[in-house]
Structure 1
């Protein structure tokens, strides 16, 4: 890893990277359920039925993932992206049904039971097994999940499988090395607003917890630190960070300095020899290790078409509720990222890093009811911040991308609609469970999940869903 890091530094000095290209790509994680809305442990069979290279396993047997290749956003690009995702999901749903499965776009599957989360429900992938063994070897004790929300969850697990409960949308943006720090800092600054307006994970193991419970669950489910190391200030594996950066190198250097390798796997390639002989090194060990440090905005080094490039992987968003909602969340992010990194007075020069982290935590807990700090406004509700400051910037940014005006208006209108109505995927789920009523919480969650799936397929934005 240290040799890879040295070679990476040399490549940055020698400007060996592909320049900026306005490309956007994403990954979407999904849950698989049966006809009753319960978790279905059949991802291997479903993937075999789908039989498409853009689909892959995820950590749990009730998860799969689709990768959408990077594409242009100009013109009606977001509309084409929405149609592309829908057609692929429709095909996958048809194939999943042949294995008695159904796909669900949601941050945490509400019907998932605690007894279904154990080592036996990890996907049949040797890397997941090895990761599980290494994390628990580092911990030396069972995983403790403790979440204080509307209700309280306090339990233990003997595997990393609770992480599989978190299903997200990951947005990728390619940037040049020179522009990376500004874009990463901007992404960190808006993470709280993203989570507040997109929250879609209120339930875990039958408990109503945070509006975006996925954030704290992911932090706790992948923590390699026993209690004494937490007390000593050892950094967590899921990390917002601790400072604004000046270079992408800062992040990869922190990975090597602060985190021991979890996956002791090495390739034959010598990165220095590759570089000296005029080839592009893959930096296998550095990138593998980077994949086990779960930053909410992760740096990505990759080689495509014979050229190396850098991407920011934005990881804060939950999946769902509809494909239109996902596309709207993406448009909001990409619009802001076309403006904020280029501001004459950068936003990160006007607010502390701790304020940005507090915004994320508050948004995860309270959703649109969160109070967020923003320079020039002070502490305001998330909805007010988005309506007054961020939506106008996102409109400007989509214009810079060259997105057609009606397309931008439609997508950002979804974000506006959530803010004006106060309804996100999380609030709809909670209100729908309450509407079902009764003393049996799981039955109410199951009924709500079936209602959710029906509306998800309608592809209307969640703030318009009826109760």
Structure 2
């Protein structure tokens, strides 16, 4: 969720000074791009996984501080809600067995953390939206202690000028309001990072946008919210609404939302950072002491702290990342549109599919995004979020096609080609892409499994059914057998 900040109030002068500093950061960033001052050799990939915490009955456990104290592992961090934590998996090179490294590291870390957190009554669940959340969990009291989250909540509500409204029409209909951004905490995700050069960034970002719908269709895992069966990936509309700073009037005027698919294909990473500065006022106008130009001219990599903090409060589904590691700056695409789970095997299979497919498309001689409109990619994305594994989407040269058929016929071979180019082993490629293949053949993913199990409890109390189904889900999660094999 981002770096820690101190609790504070912001004056008009703070905002003016911050705006000037962000623009100075942007000018320095543009110069760095012109002078090619980035680490582009042997790119890394990475992964972050957000988790939910539940008690023995499957109800939310608002114990992340207690759980983290018990886990005692710096790779685990706080998240927005007290029922959330996040694990940062160490980056790896795919040509050095990175996919297997991700899987082994994630399983080992989660098993160890579960054993420790269970002792304080908090069990970890990898699912997009915790289905046993109730409206009572959406109060400001559920926010984590990190002052960043309270600040964000206050700034978003102040900018909006009214409570947040959640209105989602799916298989059932949900209408509710919240006086904080805690509904955002319901949206836990997996984030895949792919490092790229400035020259290749636009191709990787455009490719990521073009395949977003396919990713969501095959990996949807968030069918329930507040007791209602909604979209197959309900995280998408929930996240879009939970951090919306716009009143209805501003929406009508065409003001852009902070959770944003975007509006065009790009030609440079600079396009995205420049749009962020041009379109969005700062939520956290905190100003650092660094003079980025002075740092750059001294031969060091500037932190660009204000630009990075601002970027972290604009929630693109594929986010541009500027970072500095060991004194060397680099760029990454952060693919943040999928839920975690249902198992580590499923999560790493999703990673393999993304890493392979995005590389194959980004390096294609005829770019996919030159053959389809940006609005078609965005429409595909929301159709896939609504329909999941049954989604029909538009694809260039084909027209409307079922997403699973597209994956089987066209995209799995491309993902295989991309992973081979990354240097992944044949065993890794066949095993992990085989999980995606079987999901498509059986029309089964996390959302479908959970909804089908719930339909078998149609006559009982809805929340009792959600609890028992979640406990079944958790048992399957611990088996690490991919969800398409669950009975």
TM > 0.5 fold call? yes
The 5 A counterparts of 1:36-435 are: 36-74=57-95, 76-435=97-456
CA distance in 2, matches of 1:94, 1:180: 40
CA distance in 2, matches of 1:304, 1:409: 33
* Equivalent residue number for residue 29 of structure 2: 8
For residues 240-265 of structure 1, the C-alpha deviation after alignment (integer angstroms, 9 at most, x for no partner) is 00000000000000010000000021
Please point out which of 42, 48, 64 is paired with 1:27.
48
CA distance in 1, matches of 2:472, 2:245: 37
CA distance in 2, matches of 1:333, 1:269: 36
For residues 335-359 of structure 1, the C-alpha deviation after alignment (integer angstroms, 9 at most, x for no partner) is 0122101111100000000010011
In the TM superposition, what is the alpha-carbon distance from 1:305 to its structure 2 partner? Answer: 0.8
Contact 1:151 1:209 survives alignment (8 Å) = yes
CA distance in 1, matches of 2:326, 2:228: 47
For residues 317-351 of structure 1, the C-alpha deviation after alignment (integer angstroms, 9 at most, x for no partner) is 10100000000000000001221011111000000
In the TM superposition, what is the alpha-carbon distance from 1:442 to its structure 2 partner? Answer: 0.5
CA distance in 2, matches of 1:335, 1:342: 11
Q: Report how many aligned residue pairs link the two structures.
A: 466
CA distance in 2, matches of 1:199, 1:336: 18
Structure 2, unpaired ranges of 5+? 1-21
CA distance in 1, matches of 2:57, 2:27: 53
TM-score for the superposition, normalised by structure 2: 0.95
For residues 279-315 of structure 1, the C-alpha deviation after alignment (integer angstroms, 9 at most, x for no partner) is 2100000000000000000000000011000000001
TM-score for the superposition, normalised by structure 1: 0.99
CA distance in 1, matches of 2:379, 2:25: 34
Correspondence 1:455 to 2:479: no
In the TM superposition, what is the alpha-carbon distance from 1:80 to its structure 2 partner? Answer: 2.3
The RMSD of aligned alpha carbons is 0.8
CA distance in 2, matches of 1:371, 1:234: 30
CA distance in 1, matches of 2:453, 2:327: 50
In the TM superposition, what is the alpha-carbon distance from 1:439 to its structure 2 partner? Answer: 2.8
Please point out which of 450, 453, 466 is paired with 1:445.
466
Deviates more, 1:301-310 or 1:436-445: 436-445
CA distance in 2, matches of 1:436, 1:223: 35
In the TM superposition, what is the alpha-carbon distance from 1:20 to its structure 2 partner? Answer: 4.1
Please list every run of at least 4 consecutive aligned residues from structure 1 whose deviation after the TM superposition is greater than 3 angstroms: none
